[in-house]
Amino acid sequence: MIEDIEKILDEVERMDIDPYSGRLFAYVYETGDENLRRIAHNALIRFSDKNILDFTVFRSAIEFEKGVVGFAKKLMNGESAVGSYTYGGTESIMLAVKSARDLFRKRSNSTPEIVVPITIHPSFYKSADYMGLRVKRVGIDERKKADIDAINESVTDRTALIALSAPNWPYGTVDPIEEVSEIALDRNIPLHVDACLGGFILPFFEKIGEKVPLFDFRVEGVTSISLDIHKYGYAPKGASVVLFRTPELKKHSMYVDVSSPGYVFVNQAVLSSRSIGPLASAYAVIRYLGEDGYKSLAKKVLSARDKIYGGLRGLGFRSVGDIESSVLSLYNSEIELTRFVSNMRLLGWHTPLQRGLSEYNIPLNIHLTISPIHDSLAEEFIRDAEKAIEMPSEETTIFNAIKSGDFQKILEYLNTGKVDSAVIPLILDAIPEEVAVEMVKEIVIRWFE
């Protein structure tokens, strides 16, 4: 029986891309350090059957969370801040939005609003959808950062929260947090910084001499920050932290019920029952790496970023925005980018496509989130990129269907469940948004039946 189960697991695993290969530029933040991986997985398994729900029974949750949140507070220069451990960036952001909403309800009965740039993470829209807020989206400037004037014009007495990114996911630029902070302070509005991507690497870039825009609690108007340990903290999924400048703000993020005859229900996060495993693993990784370990990995990320960008520039690629983080967002007007991405996939590399935004003069582009392991693979990547440009077109029927606007063939492809994420941006451009949302829901339901 055990052998049969192992065989099934082996067969199913072959459907996945190897997360340790270094051939991914999204989803996984791989160091190549086998000792780190072993320590992380040992902690994950050792505490997997212990439940954060009742931390008076499993007190290890308190010890681990104090250590993890304490490290995050130091990174964000918020020694007097308070925080909560969550299972991911979306959960951290939801807690920040809940805090702002509940604070807003103390002074107004109107529907609260969030003001965000178009580059903000979709989890803010999800949070607003779950919790009954409206979202006001503003544009970006030529630097691919939130438009300060547009934010100022969008703020009203219904604004419960302004949210910015450090950096944003699409282009890797850090929003003008110091400037927007002045608006937030002047209007007495909470300001959240989504540093889920940058929170565990931008501080170490700064420590090793890189110029990094201010985005943390050193900026007076910043009231909360989210940062993911399972990104550049190099812990297994899911591990994130949300920090609040004051205990009062954290109180608004919590849920407590004392009326149940069963037990007192205390949740610092959105989820209730949670394994302590990911928390213990995050704690172990932080202790293993320490500040010196993180600085060493940050140097590898910078080295890999410079090698890859330098090599791709020689092949005609250019950056969409300023390069301020570990993200490269690149376009190439000399080649057909869909063919390049398709050929890179044939060569074993996952280079995600991002849709263009004509109103901001942003062409179709590729997104590369650089990890430490890429430092040792950069030369191979550039060699394969050169091959991919020269390779004959291997485009699948779906690319041709998108080009011709063949909606029926697009649907047939989506219904197979074998969707290559490289084509999703193109499909979205080919289908009206209101149609796409409902279609995606129906298709995903069928995939999991």
Query: How far is residue 62 from each of residues 93, 151, 374, measured CA to CA in Å?
Result: 21, 39, 35
Residue type, 397: T
Dihedral Cα 36, 41, 44, 47, nearest 10 deg: -100
Question: Do 258 and 118 share a structural domain?
Answer: yes
Question: Is residue 430 in a domain?
Answer: yes
Candidates 384, 313, 312; CA nearest to 348 is 384
Question: Is residue 293 in a domain?
Answer: no
pLDDT at 439 over 80: no
- pTM equals 0.91
Mean confidence (pLDDT) of the chain = 91
* Letter string b/e over residues 400-416, b meaning 16 or more CB atoms within 10 A of that residue's CB: ebbeeebeeebeebbee
List pLDDT tens digits, range 265-282. Answer: 888 899 999 999 999 999
Question: Do 403 and 265 share a structural domain?
Answer: no
188: left (phi over 0), alpha (psi -120 to 50) or beta: left
Residue type, 224: S
pLDDT at 380 over 90: yes
pLDDT at 354 over 60: yes
Sole residue written with tokens 């941006």: 425
**The two structure tokens encoding residue 70:** 């304490």
Question: Is residue 333 in a domain?
Answer: no
Q: Which of 263, 286, 309 is the last residue of a domain?
A: 286
315 phi, psi to nearest 5 deg? -100, 10
Q: Which of 286, 302, 336 is the last residue of a domain?
A: 286
List pLDDT tens digits, range 194-232. Answer: 999 999 999 999 999 999 999 999 999 999 999 999 999
- Percent of the chain, pLDDT > 90? 73
**The two structure tokens encoding residue 334:** 């000399």
Question: Do 403 and 279 share a structural domain?
Answer: no
Task: Give the distance from CA 28 to its chain's centroid.
Answer: 11
Pairwise CA distance, residues 346 & 357, whole Å: 27
Question: Do 248 and 111 share a structural domain?
Answer: yes
Question: Is residue 279 in a domain?
Answer: yes
CATH code at 165? Answer: 3.40.640.10
Domain containing residue 185: 38-286
Indicate the number of domains in the chain: 2
Question: Is residue 441 in a domain?
Answer: yes
Question: Is residue 154 in a domain?
Answer: yes
Question: Do 55 and 187 share a structural domain?
Answer: yes
Q: Which of 245, 268, 286 is the last residue of a domain?
A: 286
Question: Do 412 and 279 share a structural domain?
Answer: no
Element holding 327 (H helix, E strand):
strand 327-331
Q: How confident is the model at residue 156 (pLDDT cuts 50, 70, 90)?
A: very high
